[in-house]
Amino acid sequence: MIKGLLLDFYGTVVEDDDAIMQAIAEQVAAGASTSVSGGDVMDAWARQYEAVAAGPQFRTLRDCAMRSLATVMAEVGCPGDAANLCTAQFTYWQSPPLRPGTREFLSRVTVPICVVSDVDRADLDAAMAHHGLAFTAVVTSEDVRAYKPDRAMFARALAALDLGADEVLHVGDSTTADVHGAHAAGIRAAWINHRGHTLPDDSPVEYEIPDLTGLIEIIQ
């Protein structure tokens, strides 16, 4: 029996920032002294972000975004201020649109929910306030000073709900951060596959759903 939910936020409750990041990457590619595409910049930015976030010193998500983009800009010879380019992304984090099915799901769910999000606390608080959302508990990477799939994120969420790993379901759109992270913490996972990707063979997914409404029957 599912007694509680751990819920990713960006890409699960609200839309992710893919389009904003792509627009920033296109700007960098257009200003680069080397021949690169927006896709090339996006790939390099993702790699650099992962390196910064996984580093020995915890950095906020905003810092990770700016530092990783600045590195890519230097590599491709694009002048300018990475912080200025990231402004649109930071603004988006505070007022992203809701994903399809979110309102319906939240109006019908009866079990306690802890949001578990790789984001800075102020940005998540602003996004929830923007939509008038409230949850039983909220855990951010800034609170824990770690990012999913680190077990510390899931442990903090379980403690916040006062539930065991076998009593909850974690829901998110990342097979790495959400699915594998939850599985390593002994928690079942539901994958929000809103991009229509093929599930990797090694992913321990309990349920695959397109949006949160798919959870209603699962948890009832």
Same domain, 50 and 158: no
Same domain, 123 and 155: yes
Same domain, 148 and 206: yes
Do the Cβ atoms of 160 and 137 come closer than 8 Å? yes
Domain count, the chain: 2
Same domain, 121 and 87: no
Tens of pLDDT, residue by residue over 55-110, are 999 999 999 999 999 999 999 999 999 999 999 999 999 999 999 999 999 999 99
Same domain, 140 and 61: no
Greater model confidence, 203 or 11: 11
Show the domain range for 41. 18-94
Same domain, 206 and 107: yes
82: Cα separation from own chain's centroid: 21
The pTM score is 0.94
pLDDT surpassing 90 at residue 152: yes
Average pLDDT, the chain: 96
Same domain, 100 and 43: no
> What CATH number is attached to the domain comprising 113?
3.40.50.1000
DSSP 8-state code for residue 9? -
Which helix (H) or strand (E) element contains residue 144? Answer: helix 141-144
148 token code pair: 């999913």
Same domain, 114 and 196: yes
> Using alpha carbons only, what angle is made at residue 181 by residues 177 and 187, rounded to the nearest 5 degrees?
135
Same domain, 111 and 209: yes
CA distance 52 to 62: 11
The residue among 61, 94, 127 that closes a domain is: 94
> Using alpha carbons only, what angle is made at residue 116 by residues 166 and 87, rounded to the nearest 5 degrees?
165
What does the pLDDT read at residue 200? Answer: 77
Same domain, 77 and 123: no
